[in-house]
Amino acid sequence: MDVRFFETFLEVARTRHFGKAAEQLYLTQSAISSRIRQLEEYFHAPLFARHRNSIQLTVAGEQLLPYAESLVKTLRQAKSSLDQVNSGIHPLRLATTANAWFLVGKDLTQHWSQSDEYSLSVEFSDKHQLVRQLQEHQADVALVHHPLKSDDLHGQVIRSFDMHLFASSQEMPPRQYVKLHLFNKAMEDWEKGHLNKSTTICTTESIQVALDMLKAQGGCCLLPNVIDENNLNALQLSEVRIAQLPLYLYTRKGDNHPERTRFKKWCEQFLQEEASAS
């Protein structure tokens, strides 16, 4: 089945109108109708309920919709990757968590702009999705701040970040605090010993959410010492390092593809250089 038939199905589903879909795809309305009819014959089910002034997806159409979206997206990505390879640019896919990107994303993108050898795509995922994306070759490299559990993957700590107490006042112990839950034992032990009398106003696994809440509501929070000057406004930073937050780089075991190996080494070298400079 031609992928363009699924593109036509998606456009009709979006516009709810054969004529408008024809305009968007630069086709005749009869060509649109023919493609939809062939899809319906292929799946042995009507995909649209045609009314006088509107078109609605049938139950079968609703079922097909996510598959069509996934298929079209995957094939477009494949074409884009092959086009880049043919032009001499190597496509590389980085999967990461929002927290890991918060830690190194700005430095990576600034440094990456100097490279014309690679085309980088970045996708945000949770730790479970990261494992699947690497295993199923949907990502080449993953950056994450906690270890991943899989015998198929190779991981290493390529940088560690000092965790400090950020506070809106010098009051100690503070009346309230934002709990950043990163599954870090050293952080949790320190909080139990020093913040047990403080009121927890927010618990989150997101560094950005914790920072936003701290700036809005005040109190204190354990955060990595990479907060830029704009976000430091009105916040005080403890000079004592309370814990360290590791950053892991993961790849598939046995993946010796030359371009992915170069990319991995580039990440290792760049992030370690940044750590030495900071």
User: Residue 62: what pLDDT?
Assistant: 93
Which tokens in the block code for residue 44? Answer: 């042995």
Q: What is the pLDDT of residues 129-164, one digit of tens each?
A: 889 888 888 888 899 988 888 888 988 888 888 898
User: Residue 88: what pLDDT?
Assistant: 60
Domains identified in the chain and CATH numbers: 3-85 (1.10.10.10), 89-278 (3.40.190.290)
Does the pTM of the predicted model rise above 0.85? no
CA pair distance 107, 112, nearest whole angstrom: 8
For the residues 67-92, what does the mean pLDDT come to? 75
DSSP of the chain: --HHHHHHHHHHHHHS-HHHHHHHHT--HHHHHHHHHHHHHHHTS--EEE-SS-EEE-HHHHHHHHHHHHHHHHHHHHHHHHHHHHTT-EEEEEEE-HHHHHHHHHHHHHHHTT-SSEEEEEEE--HHHHHHHHHTTS-SEEEESS----TTEEEEEEEEEEEEEEESSS-SS-SEEEEE----HHHHHHHHHHSTTSEEEEEES-HHHHHHHHHHH-SEEEEETT--HHHHTT-EE-SS--EEEEEEEEEETT---HHHHHHHHHHHHHHHHHHHH-
User: Residue 179: what pLDDT?
Assistant: 92
User: Residue 117: what pLDDT?
Assistant: 65
On the question of pLDDT at 166 being above 60, the answer is yes
User: Residue 127: what pLDDT?
Assistant: 80
Q: What is the pLDDT of residues 43-58, one digit of tens each?
A: 999 999 988 778 899 9
* More confidently predicted of 211 and 270: 211
